[in-house]
Chain A
Amino acid sequence: MSIIIQDKGLLTTIQSSNGAVDSLSPQLANKLVGNSVDADTVEMVVRPAVIQFTEPTVIAFSGAFFKALVGDKTIYPNRIYIFDKGDVLQFTDINRGSRIYLAVAGGIRYEKSNILESGDEIIMCRNYTELHDEIFNMMRNNETVSWGIDTYALAEIYLSDDFHIVRRDDTPDEIYEKLIEREYTIVGERNRFAIYLKGEEIEFDPDRIDNYGILGGVFIQDNQPVMAFNDFVTSTSLPHVGTIPSYHMHKLAQKTNGSLLKFKVIDAEDAHVELYKFEMWKKTIFKAIDYKIKKELVKEKM
């Protein structure tokens, strides 16, 4: 037996690190449970799945700020938990965001399709390392630890409404002037495909045959911006005005309908500086998790 999807929720899939719409949250959840940060996770959207465990399983979830219940115990994001045979994880209140990523110590995989239906099983790989063994030992007498990734540490990364867009040299300045003039409102999302905005109208019809449907690409459809997610088309005839850098895509992934969004137009050089700062921040968080786990292990051995 493995992990059973009792209720699939709105859309529950297993995603690789490249396939996750919010690429940061799976890394955080994986890091907490001792996995490689690139290990596959369960991506759940808006209405998460109900999940049953059939053996002692160490998990963490990250992303949207959902609370969850196992029996009468409240389960929080960005913490490590161990669940036992028969435990059922059910998500409840949502405070912010739209996507949750569940990591399972030792890794997971799917048998037929990565799109999970009610009744499907997620196969536990059980690729346990020495670190996993130590985490299991550490949690033998405790269902969780007293720490997690602090919400404030993630606030700056997730809560801002400002989005960088890397300009194209061949796009006229007046297009960018309109784009940055006022905030845009998210009016819809086709899941994993694109986010649709409404705000200042942009009339743009350049002489191009097709554009690459790059992840984070900002395209104009019916005079309004459309932002491409992971499953967007490879090639599109929609005019392309710029691209959101990867370090802002996880923030976009957690925005919901009605959220406001403000563009800031930058050059690729500035985006590289910001990306490097983001990578340094991420390394700091990962080191802090390593430190906390080691400290718990020492405490356990004393």
Chain B
Amino acid sequence: MFFENGEAAITFQVKRVFTDKERQTFLERFAPHKSDELESLVVTESTVNLLYNPTKIMERHDTIEPAGIPFEVLKEVVGDVTE
């Protein structure tokens, strides 16, 4: 499942342990998106966490819902990984 983990992170969590290949794929897919808006990707045993800067996204994209951009990127990062 995806959920907003506080006001500056989106988390994807599954009920199993990711394989090493899956983890590597997540990091590779995130690399081109890394910026001062989408700051980092942290992968644990069964979570993928995209840390973003809501204030920068709000100001630069003129939006009051800054989670939309990181959420779309995280969906792309995890791809068709199943829970």
Contact = CB atoms under 8 A, between A and B. Distances in A.
A235 interface: yes
A211 B3 contact: no
Interface size class of A (residues with CB under 8 A): 20 to 34
A209 B15 contact: yes
Contact of A209 (B3, B7, B46, B66): B46
Nearest to A171: B3
B65 interface: yes
Query: Chain A's interface: helix, strand, loop or mixed, by majority?
Result: mixed
A269 B6 CA distance: 10
Contacts of B46: 208-210
B47 A212 contact: yes
A93 interface: no
A244 interface: yes
Contacts, number: 87
B9 A235 contact: no
Interface in B24-83: 42, 44-47, 49, 54-55, 58, 64-67
A33 interface: no
Nearest to B39: A18
B71 to A, nearest CB: 10
Interface string A70-112: 0000000000000000000000000000000000000000000
Interface of A: 166, 168-170, 207-214, 216-217, 234-235, 242-247, 267-269, 271-276, 279
